Structures are given as structure tokens and as C-alpha cells.
């Protein structure tokens, strides 16, 4: 906003904003940069909802921006006649999560819309499950996933339990953008909402049904029964929502030796033991690995704060070291485990399917092909995977066995329509038991997968560009790369370029062009020779431009060499685009 100073003054003087908010703003009256960052734009309600730094301002997560979004959503639900079906609401451990969930519920209630609010913090996948279980019109979860402590967010789910997709996302965004006057946002007292049968508290009954749904996804209970006494599992919820349900499911399916990292067990929105509560970050595992070494654990697991992602370290029985699995490794280990077990049991359906995102490993293609299972690829974001699952059901076409994305998220089956770190914990522990019964560690099994299909390796790096200037720079970088397509990247030949903004894949070898058959998205994909590739996109939730790269070598060392070479050349391409 050009007039950010005027908007700042408006918030200082308008009686709609309370004294606490005004006092926070008065403290920054001499800080021009801070005022600009808080007011240069409205916190955008995008296709994933809201995510931002907690604080007062139009570009912050606060009572006003959260209820503005909720009022827009309420208007849309009323248009669709979904008031009585209601909205399920969950929240994580973050600062202000309880308050934002309450304010959201009471805004919906004041609009005549029923709400079903969890009695305490719950994982995001359970919210997805609850939406369908309760027959709700929509769902909301207050979370900023694995972002740093100063962030919070607001994710909207639709009646199928998936995050909103076209055309619903754009229609909701339109309604949210129409709410320009904060005085039009409705609310009511909680006691009145309860009296009027609008505000409902949910908890144990949904937990029980969710846990039952997870148990049905076990593919080899005998393996757990045979060796679970000899398996040692270390788990950390990283101060988040996974603790209670992870402990419950592991206990109920038979695992006895589950060790929780005590310092990280209790919910805490400040995440005091980690600088960044992300299971992709090795630093987040320091306490868990210390405990693992003390007790000689087989596997070390961490969920992110809203428990939709899972990080894994597995013990190498030969060296005694713990080896980190990235999201692609975990995804492919699970894919191979589920498909091989189902095939061995005679339960592999003829119409079986696996779904991955375009930035995930090409190893998955090889695994799917080996088991004659159909592979589908889609854009980044689990909502796009959920859309394919919905199409399977509507057309009665494919049976989705497993879906994953490289950013440490997956789901076994279709009980929820978002990535599920709880079911991932369960399945990794089951796989650990099975492979241990075969005398193998998870790392041994990963090596067997590489020997069978090829030594696939992937990596991601980002360039962070903050604030208004950063957003403009990201836009310019994408435009430069789009308008100057390379024929080669280092020694690699660019076989084709997918421009998902234009929805076209251009084959450089034949000159032909094909439709991506996917929604528009600001993504460029370079398919290279020798099974290498690169994908570039701006992050939808952080001020970053992301680069994903993949190679296939003939050994671990060779794959590492190829990866380093490709990364170096991609960075040169990125530097050129920044000039």
C-alpha cells in the first residue's frame, strides 16, 4: 500500500481497534521500516489461507485480520447454505492459537454457523479427518506448521477434508477481500453461542475414530507382534501436537519401548529447545539423537508442531551411526514397504495408485513401475494430491495406496485429506519391526532400494528475499528465467521445460508443446538428461524462492558428485537471474 502511513494512523485513531492494539503501535511510531512492514500490504488470504508474523497491523496475524478472514469465509458458507453443517476448528501449540480459534468460532457463530471446536490442541491431520467424520461444510486449523515461533497461520479446509482448491479457494478469497470495514465483522459471547446450540466442543470421540482408522492401515501386524519387544523408538513432538496420539497409537498396536524426549514433550509456542521447529533441520534432532545413543534406539522420529510432517533418523547397525532420511527417502521407503507387503499378502489392487508432487523423487516412478501401480504427479501442496484422490472416488477409478511430497509429508490410504505425521510414525515403526525381523535396519533397506532401482538423490536450496523489495525481486527472477530458457545446464541437456504458469511443457528435442493438465502455478521445471531435473518456484508461505534438484547415480558417491555439480550450475543460473 502506497499510503501505509495513513493506514497506520487510521489504526491508531479508529475506535474499532482496542487500546492494547494501539499501545503496541505507539511503541513503533519512530520506526519507519517496522511501520512499513506491518502496513505496506494486507496479510494476503491466499489459497492456503493466512500465514504471518503475530502482531498488530494489516500485514500481521492478529484478532482483526483473523476475524476479517473468518467473516469472508462465513459469507461464503452462508451463500452455499452450509450454516447447519458447520465448521470444525483445531489449533496447535503456537502463541495465540487458542485465542485465534476462539475468535474464529465466535465470529462464525455470530453469523449463524455451527462450530465444532477441539477441547485442546490437535494435529492438523485429525482436523482433516474430523471434517468428513462430522459432515462439516468446512474446517479451520490455526497453525503455522514448522515456521519460526513468531508466526501463526489459518488454514481452511472444505467438505472433503482437503485444503481449499479451485474454484472454491478463489471464491472464498473474493469474499474475504470484500470485507474492508472492520466494523462489519460479527462476533458474540461464548455463553450465548453455547446456549443457542452454535458452539460445540469435541475431543475424545473423534480421537477414538481417528485411531481406529489408522489401525486399519497396518499391513503386517505379525511383524510388530514378533519383534516389538526388541525395537527401541525415540520420539519428539518438538513441543507440538503429536505427543498424545503418537504415544497412544504405538502403545495400542503393541510397541512397548517408546522413549519420549522429555524436554520437548510439553506444548510450548516459544519452542525453547529449538531455534526452528522443523523436522527437516538436523538441529531439531539434537536432543532426540542424544537420547537415542544413550538407549541404543533403532529409529528416531520427530513431528513438526502441527504433526503433519515427519523427520526420521535410522540407526546403521554396522557403523552405529544415525543416518538422516530426507522426505524423499522416507516417502520411497514407505512406498516400497507398503507395495511389497501388499504384493506378498496378495492384497495389491489392480487399480492401485501412488501420488507424488512434481518436486519429489523420480525414484517413486521406478517403484510404481516395478509393482505395476499407476503413478500420478501434481503441483506442490497436499491439497493438489487430495484433489486427485477426490477424482479417484468420484470416478471410481483408482485405489490410492500412498501419497507423499518431498517436504516430509505423506499419507497412507485416504482416511484424511492432508499429510499425516501420526500415521507416518506408525508405518515407519511397523517397517522398522518388519525389516528388523529380516535382520535389516531401515538404512540397510534404503540401500537395497538404491541397489534395486538406482542411486537417486535430491536436494533443495532457497534464496530468501524479505519484505516488499524481496517480493518484487522474486517476481523479476521468475520472469527472467521464464523468458530466457537454457538449452543446457552445465553438462546436462535440457530435454524439456515445463512452464506451469503457461500450463505448457515444451520439448526442446522435437519442438512439440503439451498441456501440463494441471492448474496454473508460478513454477518452472527443467527435465534434464541422465534422469536429472530441476524445479524452481516461489514459496507460498515464506519469503523464499525455492530450487529443487534431483540426479540418479550409479553409487552413493557418484550421486553425491552429480548432485554437487548440478547444484553449482543451478546456482549460477539463479545468480544470473538476480542481476
Task: Tell me the per-residue pLDDT of 173-209, one tens digit each, with 9 for 90 and over.
Answer: 999 999 999 999 999 999 999 999 999 999 999 999 9
Nearest to 457 by CA among 325, 284, 310, 312: 325
b/e code 5-21 from CB counts within 10 Å (16+ = b): eebbeebeeeeebeeeb
Helix (H, G, I), strand (E, B) or coil at 124: helix
What's the confidence (pLDDT) of residue 360?
A: 97
Rg (CA), the chain: 24
Beta strands in 137-257 (DSSP E): 138-142, 151-158, 199-202, 233-236
* Helix axis angle, 442-453 to 421-437, nearest 10°: 90
Q: Classify residue 447: in a domain, yes or no.
A: yes
Q: Which residues are catalytic?
A: 145
Are the beta carbons of 392 and 317 closer than 8 angstroms?
no
| Neighbouring residues of 568: CB distance < 8 A, sequence distance ≥ 6 | 490
Residue 371 has pLDDT above 70, yes or no: yes
Domain finish residue from 453, 468, 489: 453
Are the beta carbons of 568 and 426 closer than 8 angstroms?
no
What's the confidence (pLDDT) of residue 353?
A: 98
**Mean pLDDT, to the nearest integer, of 429-433?**
98
**Mean pLDDT, to the nearest integer, of 277-306?**
97
The CATH number of residue 115's host domain is: 3.40.120.10
- Using left for φ > 0, alpha for ψ between -120 and 50, and beta otherwise, residue 330 falls in alpha
Q: Classify residue 10: in a domain, yes or no.
A: no
Gap between the Cα atoms of 420 and 335, Å rounded: 15
Gap between the Cα atoms of 497 and 156, Å rounded: 33
CA distances from 132 to 136, 216, 392 (A): 6, 17, 17
Domain finish residue from 453, 473, 491: 453
Instruction: Let me know whether 448 and 459 are in one domain.
Output: no
Instruction: Let me know whether 322 and 400 are in one domain.
Output: yes
Q: What spatial distance separates the first Cα and last Cα of the chain, rounded to whole Å?
A: 26
| Neighbouring residues of 17: CB distance < 8 A, sequence distance ≥ 6 | 11, 56, 64, 182
Helix (H, G, I), strand (E, B) or coil at 264: helix
Are the beta carbons of 10 and 38 closer than 8 angstroms?
no
Gap between the Cα atoms of 263 and 242, Å rounded: 15
Averaged pLDDT of the chain: 96
Residue 542 has pLDDT above 80, yes or no: no
Half-sphere exposure of 561 (CA within 13 A, CB side): 6
Residue 286 has pLDDT above 80, yes or no: yes
Helix (H) or strand (E) holding 83: none
Number of Cβ within a 10 Å radius of residue 493: 16
Instruction: Let me know whether 84 and 167 are in one domain.
Output: yes
Confidence label for 501 from pLDDT (cuts 50, 70 and 90): very high
CA distances from 521 to 27, 124, 225 (A): 40, 25, 46
Strands 374-378 and 352-357: parallel
What's the confidence (pLDDT) of residue 283?
A: 96
Gap between the Cα atoms of 486 and 499, Å rounded: 13
Instruction: Let me know whether 162 and 287 are in one domain.
Output: no
Instruction: Let me know whether 561 and 435 are in one domain.
Output: no
Confidence label for 435 from pLDDT (cuts 50, 70 and 90): very high
Residue 48 has pLDDT above 80, yes or no: no
Residue 418 has pLDDT above 90, yes or no: yes
Residue range(s) defining the domain that contains residue 564: 455-578
Q: Classify residue 532: in a domain, yes or no.
A: yes
pLDDT, one tens digit per residue, over 49-87 is 999 999 999 999 999 999 999 999 999 999 999 999 999
Confidence label for 46 from pLDDT (cuts 50, 70 and 90): confident
| Total structural domains within the chain | 3
Q: Classify residue 543: in a domain, yes or no.
A: yes
Are the beta carbons of 277 and 249 closer than 8 angstroms?
no
pLDDT, one tens digit per residue, over 441-471 is 999 999 999 999 999 999 999 999 887 788 8
Nearest to 314 by CA among 428, 237, 421: 428
Residue 1 has pLDDT above 80, yes or no: no
Instruction: Let me know whether 114 and 235 are in one domain.
Output: no
Half-sphere exposure of 68 (CA within 13 A, CB side): 25
Confidence label for 541 from pLDDT (cuts 50, 70 and 90): low
Helix (H, G, I), strand (E, B) or coil at 500: coil
Helix (H, G, I), strand (E, B) or coil at 382: helix
Gap between the Cα atoms of 520 and 169, Å rounded: 13
Are the beta carbons of 164 and 47 closer than 8 angstroms?
yes
The CATH number of residue 567's host domain is: 3.30.310.50
Q: Classify residue 242: in a domain, yes or no.
A: yes
Gap between the Cα atoms of 213 and 249, Å rounded: 11
Q: Classify residue 23: in a domain, yes or no.
A: no
Instruction: Let me know whether 306 and 393 are in one domain.
Output: yes
Q: Residue 186: is it exposed, middle or buried by C-beta count within 10 angstroms (0-12/13-18/19+)? A: middle
Instruction: Let me know whether 214 and 180 are in one domain.
Output: no
Q: Classify residue 47: in a domain, yes or no.
A: yes
**Mean pLDDT, to the nearest integer, of 120-138?**
98
Instruction: Let me know whether 460 and 445 are in one domain.
Output: no
| Neighbouring residues of 41: CB distance < 8 A, sequence distance ≥ 6 | 1, 58, 59, 468
What's the confidence (pLDDT) of residue 421?
A: 98
pLDDT, one tens digit per residue, over 324-347 is 999 999 999 999 999 999 999 999
- Helix, strand, coil percentages in the chain from 3-state DSSP, rounded to 5: 45, 20, 35
**Mean pLDDT, to the nearest integer, of 292-319?**
97
Q: Classify residue 25: in a domain, yes or no.
A: no
For a pLDDT cut of 70, what percent of the chain falls above it? 99
Domain finish residue from 165, 186, 202: 202
Confidence label for 163 from pLDDT (cuts 50, 70 and 90): very high
Instruction: Let me know whether 215 and 85 are in one domain.
Output: no
Residue 2 has pLDDT above 70, yes or no: no
Gap between the Cα atoms of 567 and 462, Å rounded: 12
pTM: 0.94
Gap between the Cα atoms of 398 and 373, Å rounded: 10
Instruction: Let me know whether 398 and 265 are in one domain.
Output: yes
What does the DSSP assignment read for 294-350? HHT-SEEEEE-TTSS-EEEEEE-TTT--EEEE-HHHHHHHHHHHHHHHHHHHT---T
Instruction: Let me know whether 295 and 347 are in one domain.
Output: yes
Amino acid at each position: 500500500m502506497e499510503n501505509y502511513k495513513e493506514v497506520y494512523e487510521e489504526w491508531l485513531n479508529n475506535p474499532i481497534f482496542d487500546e492494547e492494539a494501539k499501545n503496541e503501535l505507539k511503541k513503533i511510531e519512530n520506526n519507519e521500516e517496522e511501520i512499513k512492514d506491518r502496513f505496506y500490504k494486507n496479510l494476503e488470504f491466499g489459497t492456503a489461507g493466512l500465514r504471518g508474523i503475530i502482531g498488530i497491523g494489516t500485514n500481521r496475524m492478529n484478532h482483526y485480520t483473523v476475524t476479517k478472514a473468518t467473516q469472508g469465509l462465513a459469507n461464503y458458507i452462508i451463500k452455499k447454505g452450509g450454516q447447519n453443517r458447520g465448521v470444525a476448528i483445531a489449533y496447535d501449540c503456537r502463541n495465540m492459537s487458542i485465542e485465534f480459534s476462539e475468535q474464529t468460532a465466535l465470529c462464525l457463530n455470530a453469523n449463524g454457523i455451527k462450530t465444532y471446536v477441539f477441547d485442546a490442541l490437535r494435529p492438523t491431520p485429525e482436523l482433516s479427518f474430523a471434517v468428513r467424520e462430522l459432515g462439516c461444510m468446512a474446517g479451520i486449523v490455526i497453525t503455522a506448521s514448522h515456521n519460526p515461533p513468531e508466526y501463526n497461520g489459518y488454514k481452511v479446509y472444505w467438505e472433503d477434508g482437503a485444503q481449499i482448491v479451485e474454484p472454491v479457494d478463489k471464491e472464498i478469497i473474493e469474499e474475504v477481500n470484500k470485507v474492508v470495514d472492520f466494523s462489519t465483522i460479527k462476533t458474540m459471547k461464548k455463553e450465548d453461542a453455547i446456549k443457542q446450540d452454535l458452539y460445540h466442543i469435541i475431543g475424545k470421540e473423534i480421537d477414538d475414530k481417528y485411531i481406529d482408522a489408522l489401525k486399519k492401515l497396518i499391513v503386517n501386524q505379525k511383524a510388530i507382534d514378533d519383534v516389538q519387544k526388541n525395537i527401541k523408538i525415540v520420539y519428539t513432538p518438538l513441543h507440538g501436537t503429536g505427543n498424545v496420539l503418537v504415544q497412544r497409537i504405538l502403545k495400542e498396536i503393541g510397541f512397548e519401548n517408546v522413549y519420549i524426549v522429555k524436554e520437548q514433550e510439553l506444548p510450548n509456542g516459544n519452542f525453547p529447545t529449538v531455534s526452528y521447529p522443523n523436522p527437516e533441520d538436523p538441529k531439531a534432532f539434537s536432543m532426540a539423537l542424544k537420547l537415542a545413543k544413550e538407549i541404543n534406539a533403532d529409529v528416531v522420529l520427530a513431528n513438526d508442531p502441527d504433526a503433519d510432517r515427519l523427520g526420521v533418523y535410522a540407526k546403521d547397525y554396522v557403523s552405529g551411526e544415525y543416518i538422516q532420511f530426507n522426505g524423499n527417502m522416507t516417502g520411497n521407503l514407505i512406498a516400497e514397504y507398503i507395495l511389497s507387503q501388499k504384493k506378498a499378502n496378495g492384497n495389491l489392487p489392480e487399480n492401485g495408485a501412488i501420488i507424488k508432487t512434481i518436486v519429489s523423487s523420480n525414484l517413486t516412478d521406478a517403484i510404481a513401475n516395478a509393482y505395476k501401480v499407476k503413478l500420478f504427479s501434481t503441483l506442490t501442496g497436499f491439497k493438489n494430491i487430495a484433489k486427485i484422490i477426490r477424482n479417484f472416488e468420484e470416478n471410481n477409478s483408482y485405489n490410492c495406496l500412498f501419497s507423499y511430497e518431498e517436504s516430509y509429508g505423506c499419507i497412507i490410504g485416504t482416511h484424511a485429506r492432508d499429510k499425516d505425521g501420526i500415521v507416518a510414525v506408525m508405518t515407519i515403526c511397523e517397517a522398522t519391526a518388519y525389516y528388523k525381523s529380516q535382520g535389516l535396519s531401515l538404512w540397510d533397506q534404503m540401500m537395497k532400494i538404491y541397489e534395486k532401482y538406482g542411486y537417486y538423490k535430491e536436494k533443495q536450496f532457497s534464496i530468501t528475499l524479505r519484505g516488499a523489495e524481496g517480493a518484487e525481486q522474486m517476481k523479476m527472477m521468475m520472469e527472467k528465467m521464464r523468458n530466457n530458457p537454457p538449452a543446457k545446464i552445465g553438462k546436462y541437456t535440457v530435454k524439456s521445460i515445463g512452464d506451469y504458469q503457461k500450463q505448457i511443457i515444451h520439448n526442446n528435442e522435437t519442438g512439440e508443446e503439451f498441456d501440463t493438465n494441471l492448474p496454473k502455478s508460478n513454477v518452472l521445471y527443467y527435465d534434464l538428461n541422465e534422469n536429472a531435473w530441476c524445479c524452481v518456484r516461489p514459496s507460498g508461505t515464506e519469503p523464499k524462492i525455492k530450487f529443487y534438484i534431483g540426479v540418479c547415480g550409479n553409487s552413493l558417491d557418484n550421486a553425491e558428485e552429480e548432485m554437487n555439480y548440478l547444484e553449482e550450475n543451478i546456482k549460477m543460473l539463479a545468480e544470473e537471474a538476480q542481476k
